[in-house]
Amino acid sequence: MIKERLQAIQKEVYGMKQQVFNPYLPSWEYIPDGEPRVFDGRLYVYGSHDRFNGDVYCQNDYVCWSAPEDDLSDWRYEGVIFQKTQDPRNPDGAHALWAPDVCRGNDGKYYLYYCLDFLKEIGVAVCDTPAGKYEFLDFVRYPNGDILGSRPDEIRQFDPGIFIDDDKHIYLFSGNSPRYKTPGVDKDSLKMELEQDMITVKHGPYHNLPIINDADGTEYEAHPFFEASSVRKINGKYYFIYSSTWMHELCWAVADTPLGEYRYGGVLVSNADIGVNGNTQALNYRGNTHGSVIKAGGKWYVFYHRQTNRHFFSRQACAEEIFFDGERFHQAEITSCGLNGGPLKDEGIYEARIACHLYSKNGTCESQPDQQDENHPAFTQEGEDRMDTPNQYINNMVDGATAGFRYFSFTDAKEIFVEVRGTANGAFVVRDERDGNVVARIPVQPSKGWQRFSAPLSIESGKKPLYFTYEGEGAADFMHFGFGKQN
């Protein structure tokens, strides 16, 4: 409470906003699949809800976070909005709530669309407010009452995306694809129109984007549809956001009508930073991602997620500013300062968990236990799930491991420090680019508890990243770093 009060005083007296980082929610919160929506001046993020150190996807109930549209540093926890046991198929909670979406209906109520892990139907819940207690309404159905997905020849519904056009017509998108070509697979990308009751299929479903089985020879050949359907209307065009079979990237396509033919556009963001400025190397431990774009406070943002804890089941919400030229989105680079509105200050202390690049001496791999072994660093935390304690850190910084942070505005900092523990006996070499100038060398020694080590910092003024590479014996857990103004 003291921290929150000080932040409130700072904003009131000085008109200053607190800094915000990636991931933009507290370090103990694991919200993947985030769908950003603006309602009445607030931006709400609706995602699934992973568990720290979980063993499957989305083990927790849906919660919501929101922030003022004009201050995306001021995130508020809205609480649980829908429990998995509220679905009539799931009274014992055996099935998990996968990626949802929310819209404001033409009647002014808010509708939540979701799927339960491997079950085939799309559930719908309703609420009078954006982040109140949603109540189960029904399943999406055909006019004769059959539930969408329940017929023998239908695919399993997946990642529903809901969109209401300016003319109040309602559209629903769904689907997923195999990652590799699989003959006879019952998966697809689908689109359909709903009646005004938000439940009944009016037209469709129709095939939408090519999946990997039918993408050869099309403009989607290098980026076939995988999952994560989301639609936004921009300047009279319809932008379809999806995850490709590469999993680490969100892509976009565009059409003239909601149910029209979508033309491939490009990549929005990669959680491994592949494709930015021609980069072909994964600079982070990659995995699936899911999200969308939103315009808030006059700026465009792309929301996505990253992996932690050496697996796919503890994912965290990230976001970046993205350039939209009126027709096309240009791929955003991943940063540590995504929603901050600019680079971070060269003062104070920062959590190492805001690293946007993390890789070993031999590069990266998928964030999977059989690949990201003891030769790789990883984001993790102490304790159980949702401890409300900011103790996430980078584990296992072995020789050659690098954590990169983008960006800082350097003006006065003359000293830099790290807080680490472990068996490390060597030094953190700090550079102003991945292969840039060495601006500090911080010797470290073995320590059972968190210990601070510092060194002079010699860096030119301006906007720059920092890359910390450990060189030496043993391994360090990396909790914090920070700056001082005097040698």
The catalytically annotated residue of 227, 351, 366, 419 is: 227
Place of tokens 């391994």: 475
435 is catalytic: no
H/E stretch holding 255: strand 249-255
33 is catalytic: yes
The catalytically annotated residue of 33, 50, 273, 333 is: 33
3-state secondary structure the chain: CHHHHHHHHHHHHHCCCCCCCCCCCCCCCCCCCCEEEEECCEEEEECCCCCCCCCCCCCCCEEEEEEECCCCCCCEEEEEEECHHHCCCCCCCCCCECCCEEEECCCCCEEEEECECCCCCCEEEEECCCCCCCEEEEECECCCCCECCCCCCCCCCCCCEEEECCCCCEEEEEEECCCCCCCCCCCEEEEEEECCCCCEEEEEEEECCCEHHHCCCCCCCCCCEEEEEEEEEECCEEEEEEEECCCCEEEEEEECCCCCCCEEEEEEEECCCCCHHHCCCCCCCECCCCCEEEEECCEEEEEEEEEECCEEEEEEEEEEECEECCCCEECCCCCCCCCCCCCEECCEEEEHHHCCEEEECCECCECCCCCCCCCCCEEECCCCCCCCCCCCEEEEECCCCEEEEEEEEECCCCEEEEEEEECCEEEEEEECCCCCCEEEEEEECCEEEEEEEEEECCCCCEEEEEEEEEEEECCEEEEEEEEECCC
User: Quick check: bond before 407 cis, omega within 30?
Assistant: yes
How is residue 454 written in tokens?
Answer: 């510092």
The amino acid occupying position 311 is H
Task: List b or e across 216-255, with b for residues whose CB sees 16 or more CB atoms inside 10 angstroms.
Answer: eeeebeebbbbbbbbbbeeeeebbbbbbbbbbbbbbbbbb
Residues marked as catalytic: 33, 227
